[in-house]
């Protein structure tokens, strides 16, 4: 087992996939992912990776994973709403084959961001200005959340831009 720590922004999916594909070429196959931590197994084979995102759409894991397996993709691991798949065949590496379904995918990510963002924005923008500081711990939490807010906003803007791009394509 080889563990590597690496950081990728969520919208840099392509780079992350490229990284995993490169590792696979060098004989390191992904088996597990945990916050910035990639666990690889040493095996000589060639895998091509793809990510899917599902959270609130009531995925029945069994049926979902079976369908992907039938489509030529092996389930590697799950992290939060992210599902990582690998395929031996470069030809079947795409998870979506039309614009309509790609758009749905971006919508799911944006919905997730909106729901997670709500408490953050509420605290920083509405609750904090009306509170006076009491404890030290609370002020640390306050600083962390205040830093998180612009990052969250940035992620939302990036995904909105990617979502909008799918509208500029003429083909469905």
Partner 1 sequence: MNKFSPLTESMYYILVALSQPLHGYGIIKKVEELSSGRLRLAAGTLYGALTNLEKNKLIEAVGIDPDNKRRKLYVITSEGKDLVNYEIKRLSEMVENGKKEGYDGC
Cβ atoms 17, 90 nearer than 8 A: no
CB closer to partner 1, 132 vs 171: 171
**Least distance between partner 1 and beta carbon 56 (Å):** 12
23 in contact with partner 1 (CB under 8 A) = no
DSSP per position, 47-63:
-EEEEEE-SSS---HHH
Q: Which residues within the stretch 54-83 sit at the binding site for partner 1 (CB under 8 A)?
A: 57, 62-68, 70-73
CB-hemisphere CA count at 13 Å for 70? 6
Task: Pick the closest to residue 51 from 89, 77, 23, 90 (CA basis).
Answer: 77
Q: Which residues within the stretch 84-113 sit at the binding site for partner 1 (CB under 8 A)?
A: 92, 94-98, 100-101, 104-105
- Residue position matching structure tokens 């002020």: 139
133 in contact with partner 1 (CB under 8 A) = no
Q: Which residues bind to partner 1, rule: CB under 8 A?
A: 52, 57, 62-68, 70-73, 92, 94-98, 100-101, 104-105, 172
């Amino acid at each position: 087992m080889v563990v590597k720590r690496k950081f990728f922004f969520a919208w840099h999916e392509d780079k992350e996939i490229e990284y995993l594909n490169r590792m696979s070429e060098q004989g390191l196959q992904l088996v597990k992912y945990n916050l910035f931590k990639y666990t690889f197994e040493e095996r000589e084979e060639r895998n091509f990776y793809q990510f899917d995102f599902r959270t609130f759409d009531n995925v029945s894991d069994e049926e979902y994973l079976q369908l992907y397996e039938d489509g030529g993709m092996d389930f590697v691991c799950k992290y939060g709403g992210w599902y990582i798949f690998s395929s031996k065949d470069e030809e079947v590496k795409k998870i979506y084959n039309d614009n309509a379904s790609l758009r749905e995918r971006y919508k799911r990510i944006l919905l997730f961001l909106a729901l997670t963002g709500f408490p953050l924005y509420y605290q920083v923008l509405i609750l904090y200005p009306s509170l006076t500081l009491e404890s030290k711990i609370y002020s640390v939490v306050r600083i962390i959340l205040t830093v998180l807010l612009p990052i969250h906003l940035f992620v939302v803007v990036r995904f909105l831009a990617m979502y909008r791009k799918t509208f500029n394509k003429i083909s469905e």
